[in-house]
A and B are shown apart, each in its own frame.
Chain A
Amino acid sequence: AQSVTQLGSHVSVSEGALVLLRCNYSSSVPPYLFWYVQYPNQGLQLLLKYTTGATLVKGINGFEAEFKKSETSFHLTKPSAHMSDAAEYFCAAQRPDSSYKLIFGSGTRLLVRP
């Protein structure tokens, strides 16, 4: 069965520091992978996605993620945190062959200290 694990329910960084949010997946077939951001009382916004091709994916707002098949990981990074990055981040997976549903991790809340 496919699953997504996000290590750390809360991550706190100082403004200007590196952001690293961890995501590991479990799947018999390498899935498509996504990172979404959710601001309070709002829906989900897609940050970036990996389907095929280049394993380093760049997204919006300066975020990027690298697909590492050998580590079954898809960690999200940003070189310099901004106060506006404070939000909930969700990693999600989707089987590329026939599945239609997204499997989400439990989320990581990013806190940015001034």
Chain B
Amino acid sequence: DAGVTQSPTHLIKTRGQHVTLRCSPISGHKSVSWYQQVLGQGPQFIFQYYEKEERGRGNFPDRFSARQFPNYSSELNVNALLLGDSALYLCASSLDSLGEAFFGQGTRLTVV
């Protein structure tokens, strides 16, 4: 079975631009969570979606938004990019909102 897949794997954006990151969960998983991992730090929780509804949000500004589609895939959107948004963005899927999280390989975002 395929694991959690994220796209793209790497991208470079300019300050002020917008970016969309994509995540496909493991087949049968209905929950997707997003984490931001800045270099040298542990991942920080951004969002969780379960059954297409937002179940939780971390301490991130409104520039960050997400959604989950009927097939349970998810997008993370970041507007007005700042240099500090440069990080590895990790997606995790689980069977339900409290289940074990399985992580994807991440998307490395560099803002210049």
- What's the nearest-Cβ distance from chain B to residue A50, in Å? 12
Chain B 71-112 per-residue mask, 1 if CB under 8 angstroms from chain A, else 0:
000000000000000000010100001101111111010000
Interface residues on B, range: 20 to 34
Task: Chain A residues near B100: list those with CB within 8 A.
Answer: 46, 49
Set B45, B50, B92, B98: member contacting A103, Cβ < 8 A: B45
Q: Which of A12-20, A72-80, A104-112 contacts B (4 or more CB under 8 A)?
A: A104-112
The answer to whether residues A42 and B97 also contact, given A90-B42, A101-B58, A102-B45 and a CB cut-off of 8 A, is no
- What's the nearest-Cβ distance from chain B to residue A3, in Å? 11
Compute how far the CA of A103 lies from the CA of B104 in the bound complex, rounded to whole angstroms.
17
A107 and B103 within 8 A (CB): no
B103 and A45 within 8 A (CB): yes
B41 and A102 within 8 A (CB): no
| Residues of B that sit less than 8 Å from A by CB | 4, 31, 33, 35, 40-45, 48, 50, 55-56, 58, 90, 92, 97-98, 100-106, 108
Given contacts A45-B103, A46-B102, 20 further A-B contacts (CB under 8 A): A36-B103, A41-B108, A43-B4, A43-B90, A43-B104, A90-B43, A99-B56, A100-B33, A100-B50, A100-B97, A100-B98, A101-B33, A101-B48, A103-B45, A104-B35, A104-B44, A106-B41, A106-B42, A107-B40, A107-B42
